[in-house]
Structure 1
Amino acid sequence: MTDPSRRRFLQWSALAVAAGMLRFPLDAAASTAGRVTALPLQDVTLKPSMFLDSLQVNRRYLFELEPDRLLHNFLQQAGLPPKGAVYGGWEGDTIAGHTLGHYLSALSKLYAQTRDVQVRQRIDYIVSELARAQAQDKDGYVGGLTRKTDAGDIEGGKQVFEQIRAGAVTGSKFNINGSWSPLYTVHKLFAGLLDADALAGNTQALPVLLPLATYLAGVFDALDHAQMQSLLATEFGGLNESYIELGARTDNPRWIAIGKRLRHEGIVDPAIAGKDNLPHHHANTQVPKFIGEARQFEVTGDLDSAAGARFFWETVTGHYSYVIGGNADREYFQQPDTIASFLTEQTCEHCNSYNMLKLTRHLYQWTPQARYFDYYERTLLNHTMSAQHPETGMFTYMTPMITGGERGFSDKFDSFWCCVGSGMEAHAQFGDSIYWQDGQSLYVNLYIPSTLDWKQGGLALTLDSGVPLNGQVRLQVTRADDAAPQRLLLRIPAWSEGRFALKVNGRKASSTLQEGYALLERRWKAGDVVELDLATPLRLEHAAGDADTVVVMRGPLALAADLGPVSDPWDAPDPALVGDASPLAGFSALPEPGRFLASTTRPQALEFSPFYAQHDRRSALYFKRMDAAQWVAEAQRREKAIAERAQLKADAVDMIQFGNEASEKAHGLTSDTSFSAAYRRQECRDVRGKGFVEFVMQGSRQPLALRLRFWGSDKGRFNILVNGTLAVEVEVERGQVLDFVDHDYVLPHALTRSGQPLRLRFEPQHGDTAGPLFGGWLVSV
């Protein structure tokens, strides 16, 4: 422990305590790694509940996937004949191979959770095939990623690393030497092998990992500090964590030293100094970096790492997170405390939340405060459970916060997004954070129906729970040896507002409150029953930075208005929550548990139910809170906006709706490196790099301008050509207006005066972007 490191940690901690973020003494013991540890997955068995249902649906999907197809590239690049055809989606791109790592982790977690022999057999087969492929490479390399050469040819991924070794690091945030995030893909394989070793007892996993780790360490050794930092500007997953974990597991300082070198200073150092440097950074690229910092603290005692990880967690959960626990819009952090301005279709990438839960587990181990599991429970219930379809087992990439949004679920064999991988892992391990211990006490953090058989601790119990639909919890001790802990700590969630009742063996029990826990202390014996009844009141929770944008909560659950099936389009304005007093006064419970009818929503009454369960429904989660006078003014504003849109349509010489198939076809649109999408319920299209978009619009003899609609905080540079001649050079700078904005570009009259149809072409300047474009109108000037 260096003095500067300790000083920075204590300085940040003092600020955090003053801000109310932390509650602990400012001494070295305040951040003791492993102060509490989770009980092993092998000791926990899930009982019937939505969590067990989810795990079983996930197991079904895992067994629908064919290991030989996921191994295709690994064998092919080793010069061995593949046994199965390569999958599609991301597995058909240069990021191929990342899914196998996720898959191996998911199987390992599932095996530890269920002790399912078939799962173990599949793990052993995959690792043995990786070993067979690795044996063909004299350097110990094994991998499934590929690269695309400048000529468009596909090569094996090892060439990426050989170029890096030679000092050639070219690319972008998600591309190195023609490969899509190759270090991210490598990390998934590292993590999968580590999980196979630790959770499934596979004795071949480390013998495969060690030569691969040695090969990549040699690549990193060839780089100086500046080259390494340039490399780390591209997404690399949690490779720092994996190297440090490998070092801890093998007691080899070589791997820990490599893990330390994999610190991206441009992101981590500001967090260590207590500075929020997150706006406009890709969110999920950053979260694993801090998981690695957390693990570095636990293994090496580096307090800088602890300070950085803590600051990042506090910042993201306090200033960048949506009510379901997720974060980011279009995969990026926006400005802090602007959640209400980014309620879109492209919010809450699931990988982000999965990794935030990992980070939460680390921080909780150092400082066991119930508030960490308030966040964990919120995210698990409202995001993780919403991201898996309960019937098909498919996963979302984004979970839309926009009113009327539709969750888009993956295809079984032709998606393989990153969030499919994290989804497979997330739904394989629900028992991993229920029970914790510190040598003297048993902590119960999640009220998930389960049994615990803690042989080392001499204690077994059964947990039954109505959470999240009600607050009733029952624990029954089924075995308590002399070694069993006498202290039982039950998390009292913040959502109960401190209202709870405790009984032991049918009698009211008193307890001591400690860091958000009810502490019961006695010599436990078989047959003892503890009953906890937690209040689950309705309440409003506002978006960070905007007290007038609110969500209705009940207990740990975010409630959303049910707007109908996804098969019915939604194009109406957002409903509002109106009431001069408390809008919740208009909520009445319906017979089905968890459902309410609200008479205070406008323009009509709506039914509310848990957001997570509305997989095939359109939802309204966030509401603007208004009094009666504000609603009258809002209704008038909406009518005016409708009239203005109609007037523009009537006045325009011609109009194209970018991203709309019918409109683009009617205008003969052609393009290259261009993508259609929807954002804030508005269809759009953008053009990237050396691509273009070209289309035809009706002309006029009158002087004309082309009106283009952008999102106010977007930027880009592109040229507008009219009939092949450069007409306008466009520069769109990122603005502060978080709304759609229109810009008019006057077209040279010499190019339009004939009144003939105009062939318009957009070309990005110097590899920049054109768009996203949300509409184009030719208007007279």
Structure 2
Amino acid sequence: MQKHKQERNQQRRRLLKGLVSSAGMASSFLAHANASSLQRSSAPTAAANPNIQAIAMERVRLLPSVYLDALRSNQAYLLRLQADRMLHNYYRFAGLSSKGKPYGGWEADTIAGEALGHYLSALSLMYAQTGVSEMRHRANYIVNELERVQEAHGDGYVGGFLRKRKSGEIVDGKEIFAEIMAGDIRSAGFDLNGCWVPFYNWHKVLAGLFDAQRYCKNQKALKIAEKLANYIAKVFDSLNETQLQQVLNCEHGGINESFAELYVRTNNSKWLTLAERLYHSKTLEPLVQGRDNLASLHANTQIPKVIGLARLAEITGKARYQKAGLQFWNSVVEHHSYVIGGHGDREYFDAPDTQHQHISEQTCEACGTYNMLKLTRHLYSWKADPRYFDFYERGHLNHILTHQNPKTGMFTYMTPLMSGVAREFSNEEDSFWCCVLSGLESHAKHGDSIYWSQGNTLLINLYIPSRLHWREQGLNLKLTGAYPFEEEIQIEIENCRQEVREIALRIPAWATEFSIELNGKVINTKNEDGYCRIKRSWKQHDRIRLKFPMALRLENAGGKPAKDDDQIVAVLRGPMVLGADLGAADKPYSAPSPALVGHQLLSQFKRLPEHKLRYQTLGIGKPTDMQFMPFFQMAERRAAVYFPRFTESQWQVAAEKYQQEEEEKQEIARRSVDIMYLGEMQAERDHQLESDISYPVSYRGRNGRDARTGGFFAFDMKVKPGTLSLQASYWGEERNRRFSILVDEQEIARVELDAADPGVFVDKTYAIPPHLTAGKNKIRIRFQPETGFTAGPVFGCRLILNADQ
């Protein structure tokens, strides 16, 4: 799912592509005798291992840290939310009296009802993490109300989503299932017969019920889930394989995981049979074959399917499911992720290893990382390879914490990596985007993966201040320290029986040196495949002191150690991505995107002692020097994460052109009123797109839409006072295309495309007569081909104020 978007920085990309790489050097480190490499070389392989388990959150309590701050902010928001408002449509369509008006935003759209499942999960997770009884009380209340709703329907159905009929009337979403069972299946990817992702919605409701059962010990939740599953199963049972694949082409979340999990909880084999049948061949089969076929796919649509396949691998032991999970994780982490651990530009995967070409204002959807961390936990439970937690720590610290403003408890949708772009946060009443809802869960479980067990070994994978009460093994310990701001971590054994004989400490891949003390004495331990293992008969008050010296280093756009020919670099310290502070988010930013110029760049960073963690560049920042701080803490600041890197001679040659390109970029952004990304499902939904004989297309990494003879496509765009023009993007080699562009049914242009600009995308601008926009808040744009011709493809439209305004 996708929000309104802005234009990529194409001009800057063209400039940088032509530059010779600088000779700037990456950070140099002293090598410790037992140090790991900056990047672990071996790819993990699957071998399901039931002995590797995360220690339950009920056994972990967070201590003061940025993670506890985030959890408390989220806890306060959970308590401000009202379950009755999320239940509004559930009551309404069951014929019951509602107890509160519905929330706005997505909860007022046809995806309504999704929030309830996430909220139920978040309450259950927060109860497990904190023990706060109000969380369990609210979760149990929701379960009881869903039971009332289900009984009122009488057929197992539970749902809050809506359906928009062809007439435009909004009705109960339940009516689409009779059509689907009759073989009438219509979907463009997110919509299914006029309803927005209903199976995705149900996946979240079922997940909430499972979490209520697991963490709140509510057995009624499982009964509701099974009755709902019987209703859903009837829909799928009515479909042949071709029809099933049609339905699965619509985003369906991890509905396969839902049925796999139901099988585990009920031991009813029919749920396993159905879980395996819900196999989206178009996406999953290339993964089974070991291929990275992700380019141009909507990223977060795919991850839950793969999580479901990973769950099935654990249940069935089938190697093909394991292979798909590993192939997907390795592709995303190694070839599609940014330095903060997130992935995707405008929610879509691009070609592998092209992150440097997609540093935009719409990078890194939060839901994607939320789900990638889930997948990572599955794969780690197959093999305790620390490489998984190198990624987990990166995404958890640099993206998930960035996802929330801890002052307000509100969430971002995207985390923009384009320099100077402010983060956009939700509001309490009228957002409820998918990333708000996954945020409710993410920030309820920061203790989820700190501690793991493997036989009699305790594995510590994250250094988040916390207390562990591992009752099953008779171990209590306390982990403290100011990591990741500071280099030292302390672990104190508060109580221990003899079952735990070994504590394994993860040594991050970036840590080229480290030291360990036990009870005040330095001990010589080897880094054995990413862990230092200490075996002894543990006693009360035993103390471990672990220290990771943290030098600054440079990484490339994909989060790998920077090479001399990497033109785009980011600055990190330990596990933490640093961002340049470009000013307050509520102030406009018009300066050029910053660059780093010179040799030995890292030697020209000075740590400022008066701040907890802040650095100042000394003469290498262009257009001016900058101060750097942890990126995740810049919720209310404009930031730069990626920097083009130049030598002095390169900069002298490029500066004038670079300045011009940046000014043009800022100017077009200033004049932009609205942007439409054609061919991208959420943008088309947001702009009320209607079409006939019209198809989304993808070419050279850009999405668009065309209309064939006899068809059209039309959409709304916001306007504001002033003289406006429409800018449309085309591939410069299109031939024999003829079409009209209309505004509110009045033609403003006749267009003919005939390969006038080979090899590039081009922007064409069309003036809009002022009377067509005067006094309006929006206009309707329509592309209509001449008979016998095609309109477009059009790779996006932008409404702009004319330059003299």
TM-score computed with the length of structure 1 as normaliser:
0.85
Q: Does the 8 A contact of 1:241 with 1:291 survive in 2? A: yes
Q: Does the 8 A contact of 2:159 with 2:202 survive in 1? A: yes
Q: Distance in 1 between matches of 2:492 and 2:687?
A: 64
Q: Distance in 2 between matches of 1:137 and 1:550?
A: 57
| Structure 2 residue ranges without an equivalent (≥5) | 1-38, 676-685, 691-703, 707-711, 774-778, 786-790
Q: Secondary structure at the match of 1:431?
A: coil
Query: Does structure 1 residue 587 correspond to structure 2 residue 605?
Result: yes
Counterpart in the other structure of 2:629? 609
Counterpart in the other structure of 2:511? 496
Relative to structure 1, the CA distance from residue 402 to residue 778 in structure 2 (aligned partners, 3 Å threshold; closer, same or farther) is closer
Relative to structure 1, the CA distance from residue 724 to residue 75 in structure 2 (aligned partners, 3 Å threshold; closer, same or farther) is closer
Q: Distance in 1 between matches of 2:739 and 2:124?
A: 49
Counterpart in the other structure of 2:694? none
Q: Does the 8 A contact of 1:698 with 1:758 survive in 2? A: no
Counterpart in the other structure of 1:560? 579
1:742 deviation in Å? 2.8
Q: Distance in 2 between matches of 1:205 and 1:453?
A: 28
Counterpart in the other structure of 2:258? 242
For 2:630, the aligned partner's letter is P
Q: How does 1:324-723 map to 2 (within 5 A)?
A: 324-483=340-499, 485-497=500-512, 499-544=513-558, 547-579=566-598, 581-591=599-609, 592-599=611-618, 600-641=620-661, 657-659=671-673, 673=688, 689-691=713-715, 708=727, 710=729, 719-721=740-742
Counterpart in the other structure of 1:164? 180
1:764 deviation in Å? 2.7
Counterpart in the other structure of 1:209? 225
Q: Does the 8 A contact of 1:563 with 1:620 survive in 2? A: yes
Q: Distance in 2 between matches of 1:223 and 1:291?
A: 24
Q: How does 1:186-265 map to 2 (within 5 A)?
A: 186-265=202-281
Q: Distance in 1 between matches of 2:296 and 2:77?
A: 35
Match of 1:48 among 48, 54, 64: 64
Q: Does the 8 A contact of 1:511 with 1:519 survive in 2? A: yes
For 1:621, the aligned partner's letter is V
Q: Does the 8 A contact of 2:64 with 2:465 survive in 1? A: yes
Q: Does the 8 A contact of 2:51 with 2:455 survive in 1? A: no
1:708 deviation in Å? 3.7
1:714 deviation in Å? 14
Q: Distance in 1 between matches of 2:290 and 2:180?
A: 33
Counterpart in the other structure of 2:762? 741
Relative to structure 1, the CA distance from residue 550 to residue 438 in structure 2 (aligned partners, 3 Å threshold; closer, same or farther) is same
Q: How does 1:14-29 map to 2 (within 5 A)?
A: 22=42
Of the two structures, which has the highest relative contact order with CA contacts closer than 8 Å and spacing of 6 or more?
2
Q: Secondary structure at the match of 1:173?
A: coil
1:302 deviation in Å? 1.2
For 1:742, the aligned partner's letter is D
Counterpart in the other structure of 1:115? 131
Identical amino acids, percent of aligned pairs: 42
Q: Does the 8 A contact of 2:607 with 2:616 survive in 1? A: yes
Q: Distance in 2 between matches of 1:41 and 1:707?
A: 53
Q: Does the 8 A contact of 1:594 with 1:609 survive in 2? A: yes
1:460 deviation in Å? 1.0
Q: Secondary structure at the match of 1:625?
A: strand
For 2:741, the aligned partner's letter is I
Q: Distance in 2 between matches of 1:385 and 1:533?
A: 23
Match of 1:728 among 737, 743, 750: 750
1:252 deviation in Å? 1.3
Question: CA offsets, 1:696-719, max 9 Å, x none?
Answer: 9999xxxxxx99453879999963
1:37 deviation in Å? 0.4
Q: Distance in 2 between matches of 1:134 and 1:756?
A: 55
Q: Secondary structure at the match of 1:57?
A: helix
For 1:548, the aligned partner's letter is Q
Q: Does the 8 A contact of 1:191 with 1:242 survive in 2? A: yes
Query: Does structure 1 residue 148 correspond to structure 2 residue 170?
Result: no
Counterpart in the other structure of 2:154? 138
User: How many pairs align?
Assistant: 715
Relative to structure 1, the CA distance from residue 730 to residue 86 in structure 2 (aligned partners, 3 Å threshold; closer, same or farther) is farther
Counterpart in the other structure of 1:38? 54
Q: Does the 8 A contact of 1:694 with 1:762 survive in 2? A: no
Relative to structure 1, the CA distance from residue 145 to residue 99 in structure 2 (aligned partners, 3 Å threshold; closer, same or farther) is same
Q: Distance in 1 between matches of 2:754 and 2:375?
A: 37
Counterpart in the other structure of 2:99? 83
Question: CA offsets, 1:213-266, max 9 Å, x none?
Answer: 011011101111111111111100111111101101111111111111111110
1:673 deviation in Å? 3.6
Relative to structure 1, the CA distance from residue 737 to residue 338 in structure 2 (aligned partners, 3 Å threshold; closer, same or farther) is farther
Counterpart in the other structure of 1:303? 319
Relative to structure 1, the CA distance from residue 308 to residue 98 in structure 2 (aligned partners, 3 Å threshold; closer, same or farther) is same
Q: Does the 8 A contact of 1:560 with 1:608 survive in 2? A: yes
| Structure 1 residue ranges without an equivalent (≥5) | 1-18, 650-654, 662-670, 676-684, 700-705
Q: Secondary structure at the match of 1:513?
A: coil
Q: Distance in 2 between matches of 1:59 and 1:377?
A: 22
For 2:90, the aligned partner's letter is F
Relative to structure 1, the CA distance from residue 587 to residue 158 in structure 2 (aligned partners, 3 Å threshold; closer, same or farther) is same
Q: Secondary structure at the match of 1:204?
A: helix
1:640 deviation in Å? 5.0
1:330 deviation in Å? 0.9
1:400 deviation in Å? 0.4
For 1:728, the aligned partner's letter is R
Q: Secondary structure at the match of 1:155?
A: strand
1:737 deviation in Å? 7.6
Q: Does the 8 A contact of 1:692 with 1:764 survive in 2? A: no
Q: Distance in 2 between matches of 1:407 and 1:644?
A: 22
Relative to structure 1, the CA distance from residue 708 to residue 289 in structure 2 (aligned partners, 3 Å threshold; closer, same or farther) is same
Q: Between 272-281 and 99-108, report the one with greater CA deviation.
A: 272-281
Q: Secondary structure at the match of 2:152?
A: coil
Relative to structure 1, the CA distance from residue 432 to residue 696 in structure 2 (aligned partners, 3 Å threshold; closer, same or farther) is closer
Counterpart in the other structure of 1:8? none
Q: Secondary structure at the match of 2:153?
A: coil
Counterpart in the other structure of 2:306? 290
1:352 deviation in Å? 0.3
Q: Distance in 1 between matches of 2:101 and 2:720?
A: 42
1:689 deviation in Å? 3.9
Q: Distance in 1 between matches of 2:243 and 2:57?
A: 41
Match of 1:271 among 287, 292, 316: 287
Question: CA offsets, 1:325-353, max 9 Å, x none?
Answer: 11111111112111111111111110000
